[in-house]
């Protein structure tokens, strides 16, 4: 019913970004090790990617592994990397069947070689798909991304590739970000009840609508995505203008 309601409205966000939070706490509540929460979280990813395709979302970005996550216990990091490889191998056929295109953003050079190889293979295999674009933020941090963009601009100016620093406006700067070619998120969802961005898409979320939900990520269902989108559809996005200007 919720799915039909949001489709009937006809005003879908083009890009939904999700901070998938609460895997470890979910596992703790079940009396399990944290890795079991991450395994359950992978199942949720599968459901939400499928739901995104069913309603016709164009872009879905998932905060999969942050730069700060490298500070977690070594055993947990190794388990997460292993889950990533397993998920790529296991889900490739379904992603192809669902016409999903996979891209990745972040400092991918920091990923273990086996993860990079599998990820590059998945991106190459799905490159021609025309359904939802699934953007995986891996070893990603917004401050790193912005600093990296500034360094690249400085290098291009030094090397004469960029002729005039006065030409560096919002659009030019955005072209140096890892999200170049990807529209800014219309809606950002964060699970687990936390109400912060955690160094995620700081530049891109300047005018994004935020939606916070108490559920941990492993408990997040398709209907939760639909409810978030229905909430988005009821909002008035003014982008610095007045409501009267928007209605004209």
Q: Which residues are catalytic?
A: 21, 69
Distance (Å, whole) CA 168 – CA 183: 19
Residue where the block lists tokens 């090397």: 159
- Distance separating alpha carbons of residues 74 and 100, to the nearest angstrom: 32
């Amino acid at each position: 019913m919720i799915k039909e309601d949001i489709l009937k409205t006809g005003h879908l966000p083009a890009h939904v970004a999700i901070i998938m939070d609460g895997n470890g706490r979910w596992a703790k509540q079940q009396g399990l090790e944290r890795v079991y929460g991450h395994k359950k979280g992978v199942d949720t990813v599968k459901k939400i990617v499928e739901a995104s395709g069913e309603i016709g979302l164009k872009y879905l970005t998932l905060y999969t592994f942050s730069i700060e996550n490298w500070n977690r216990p070594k055993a947990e990091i190794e388990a997460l990397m292993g889950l990533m490889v397993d998920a790529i191998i296991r889900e490739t056929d379904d992603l192809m069947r669902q016409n999903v295109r996979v891209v990745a953003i972040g400092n991918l050079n920091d990923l273990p070689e086996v993860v990079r190889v599998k990820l590059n293979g998945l991106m190459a295999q799905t490159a021609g798909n025309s359904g939802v674009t699934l953007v995986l933020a891996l070893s990603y941090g917004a401050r790193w991304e912005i600093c990296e963009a500034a360094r690249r601009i400085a290098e291009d100016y030094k090397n004469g590739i960029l002729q005039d620093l006065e030409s560096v406006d919002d659009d030019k700067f955005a072209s140096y970000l890892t999200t170049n070619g990807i529209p800014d998120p219309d809606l950002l969802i964060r699970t687990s009840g936390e109400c912060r961005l955690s160094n995620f898409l700081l530049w891109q979320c300047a005018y994004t609508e935020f939606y916070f939900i108490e559920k941990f990520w492993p408990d997040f269902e398709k209907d939760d995505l639909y409810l978030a989108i229905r909430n988005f559809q009821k909002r008035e996005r003014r982008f610095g203008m007045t409501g009267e200007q928007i209605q004209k």
